Every structure is written in C-alpha cells, then in structure tokens.
Amino acid sequence: MRIQYAQCWEDPRALEEGLSVGPGDDVVSIASGGDNTFALLLKGPRSLTAVDWNDAQIHLVELKMRAIENLGYEEFAGFVGARPSRDRSKLYKAIRGTLSEAARIYWDANPAPVARGIIHCGKFENYFRIFRRSVLPLVHGRRTVRRLLSASSAGEQLEFYNRTWNSGRWRMLFRVFFGKFLLGHLGRDPSYFRYVTLDKVADTLSGRARHALTEIPIRDNYFIEYILTGKYGRLESAPPWLRPSNFEALKRNVGRLKLVRAGLDEYLGTLPDGAVSKFNLSDIFEYMPEAEVEASLREIGRVSGPGAKLVFWTLFIPRTVPRALAGRITPSHELAERLLFEARAFFYGGFCLWNVLPAKGRFDTVHPAEYHDGGVSSPAVEPE
C-alpha cells in the first residue's frame, strides 16, 4: 500500500474544541498522517490509540513518533521536511533501530520519501504539488500569492480576491483540476467517490475555496499556505505537532500513543464495553454505505463510556444519526456549525459533533425515537 496522506487535512482546532480532550480521556483516532492524533496527544489524554487499515499510514506515523522521541527540535523539523535539511538519510539511520520490524522494512525499501521529507510524500500532497507547479503559475505568480497570504483582514482578503485573484482563468483551471476525475485519480482514489451523487464537485469546492480565501483569516491558515507554497513559513503557525513551543510536551506524551493496523470496527471489536471516551474519526463515513455506518455507530456506542463524544467530517455525502440510534446519539448542532464555518481546511461540507449516551444494556437495541439530523452542512458550498 502507498501513503495517501502524509499530513492531515482537517483542522485540529475543530477537533480540540469539539472533543475537549483531557487527562481522564481514552481516545481513539484515525491515524491518517498522524498530525491530528498528535494535536490531541498534546491535550494529555490518559491513552490514545491511532487506528488505520492502511499499513503505510501506520508506518508513517511510527516514523514521526520515533523522530519526536529521538531527535532535538531542529533535527526533527529538518528530518520530517518542515525545514531544509541535507541530513535526512543520516538522521534516518540514527533512528532506524527504534522502529518496529515492519516499519523498518517499509522505510528501508522507500528511501526517496525520507530524503524528500516525509510530510511531502503522500498522494494528496503530490496532487497539490502538481497544482502548485503546473496549474497555479498559469494564473498567478509568486508575488500575487505572497500578497494574498499577507492580507491582514477578511475585508482585505475579499477585496483582493474580487479584484485580482478570482479571474476567469482561475475559475476555469480550478474547475478542471479539482473536478471529480482529476481529484479522484491524482489526489485521492476513484473508489472514494463510490457513493457521491453530486454532479458538479468542482463547483462545490470552488464555493468552499472562496469561503476560505475571503472569510477565514488567511495569515494563520497553514492549509492554504502549504497548498500555494509547499512549505510553512513560520513553524509557530504550522500544524500543532510541528510548532517549536509544543515539541517538549509532545516528546513527553508520545509514549502514550499506541498504533494499531486495523479497520475501525475490527479494532473496536477487541475492546470491552465503555472503554473509550473520545473518537476522532476523520472522514471515514464518507466511504461507507448507510448500513455500514450504522453498524459502526453501534459498535462505537458499545465501547463508549459516560460523556463520550465523536467527531467526523464529510466531503460530499451528508451523514445523520440513524433513526434507530436517535435515542443514544445526539448532535451538538450549534457548536458544530460554528466550528465548520471557522475551519481553515476548506474542503469539507460537513462537520459532525455527536454525544454518545451510555447504554443500559446492549447498544444495538432499537429505539423508535424521533429522527435527529446529525450533520451540519457548509455555509459556503454554492458555486459562484
């Protein structure tokens, strides 16, 4: 398998505020690139387990963990690719012996991503690299990009977007490059669109991009910065796990992180009732039929302890609390709506923050309660 995501593309601020992870929590998080798992680890939970069915993603997170544990900050930032470095191969050899056998075999066989910097090695990151090198220069030069990123207010962003950025050529090339075909084949995977019925994916993403470029403060939006430049100018404004001020806390807490190569339901099936209090589920329900979503939620309910919460994102397929589980799962609409609106990662059309009520007996008991709409749709999904 290959690495799909070398970084996480969901805003950790929404996860942090929505889940309110603290010292008494036992957290399950989809591993993906590891960034948001590390962001939650900084909150000091009692335990945190990162789960992913893709073994390459698990090997990636493990390599990041060992770099955190065994390197000083400057070496770490250079090794992962957040800063230039000529010593990545040397640093890999220094931490190689701390890796599991499976991770060591994987990375020994894949030296190129290590040499490039592992935060740049995913399929999705390569998709943005193609956009940045082959598409963006046809529309805007580096000076125009710098002017956009230096805007100091939403008003300034909106004015610059309308006057300079939102040209006819920008709209045309955006719709081509971020359409379903190229996004599916170059950025994600065609199978990820199996349940998507939306015709104009690019138009929808164009509306969301406009929201991010005109309504969300851009000066600390490291998602936009990376897409347009391929780097992080100020690491203190980078993803939380890369920030110098967080490094020592991350180094102290990283030993609490457990990695599991498995599907979510497969892993939850190994846990006793009430073992988990918080769930970061990325966007996994985007790729399941409704029956599988409900089955997963039943298993989540079984392993949830008192006060349990789960969060997840949706791209193009709204998800709601299944009718049969409406008495056991309740959405927090207002907070979820605000967190979605403020999210710096503009791709997502929905953010769900659900409370899981403790089960008296089996969680899969059907309750014919009132139907609950558990999703929040993006306020910025309309095409221009």
133-170 per-position pLDDT tens digit: 999 999 999 999 999 999 999 999 999 999 999 999 99
* One domain, residues 136 and 224: yes
The answer to whether the pTM exceeds 0.75 is yes
Q: Residue 26: beta bridge partners? A: 47
Q: Which of 282, 289, 276 is nearest to 359 (CA)?
A: 276
Residue 174: partners with Cβ closer than 8 Å, 6 or more residues away? 202, 205, 206, 209
* One domain, residues 293 and 313: yes
Residue 69 lies in a domain: yes
Helix or strand (DSSP H, E) at 48: strand 47-52
pLDDT over 70 (residue 196):
no
Q: What is the pLDDT of residues 226-243, one digit of tens each?
A: 999 999 999 999 999 999
pLDDT over 60 (residue 362):
no
Structure tokens at 377: 């749709």
Report residue 317's pLDDT band, with 50, 70 and 90 as the boundaries.
confident
* One domain, residues 263 and 191: no
* One domain, residues 79 and 136: no
> What percent of the chain is modeled with pLDDT above 70?
88
pLDDT computed for residue 380 by the predictor = 35
Q: What is the C-alpha to C-alpha distance for residues 122 and 60, in angstroms, rounded to an integer?
A: 10
Average pLDDT, the chain: 90
Report residue 363's pLDDT band, with 50, 70 and 90 as the boundaries.
low
Distances from the Cα of 151 to the Cαs of 114, 148, 160, 168, in angstroms?
34, 6, 8, 22
Report residue 197's pLDDT band, with 50, 70 and 90 as the boundaries.
low
Q: What is the CATH number of the domain that holds 108?
A: 3.40.50.150
Q: Specify the number of domains making up the chain.
A: 2
Q: What is the C-alpha to C-alpha distance for residues 96 and 239, in angstroms, rounded to an integer?
A: 25
pLDDT over 80 (residue 200):
no
pLDDT computed for residue 365 by the predictor = 42
Radius of gyration of the chain (CA): 21
* One domain, residues 195 and 301: no
pLDDT over 50 (residue 185):
no
Q: Residue 353: beta bridge partners? A: 311
* One domain, residues 285 and 347: yes
* One domain, residues 225 and 267: no
With helix as H, strand as E and coil as C, how does 287-355 read? HCCHHHHHHHHHHHHHHEEEEEEEEEEECCCCCCCCHHHCCCEEECHHHHHHHHHHCCCCCCCEEEEEE
**Domain interval for residue 305:** 12-120+241-356
pLDDT computed for residue 297 by the predictor = 97
Residue 191 lies in a domain: yes
Burial of 156 (0-12, 13-18, 19+ CB in 10 A): middle
What average pLDDT does the segment 325-352 reach?
95
Q: What is the C-alpha to C-alpha distance for residues 148 and 68, in angstroms, rounded to an integer?
A: 33
* One domain, residues 176 and 87: no
Q: Residue 313: beta bridge partners? A: 351
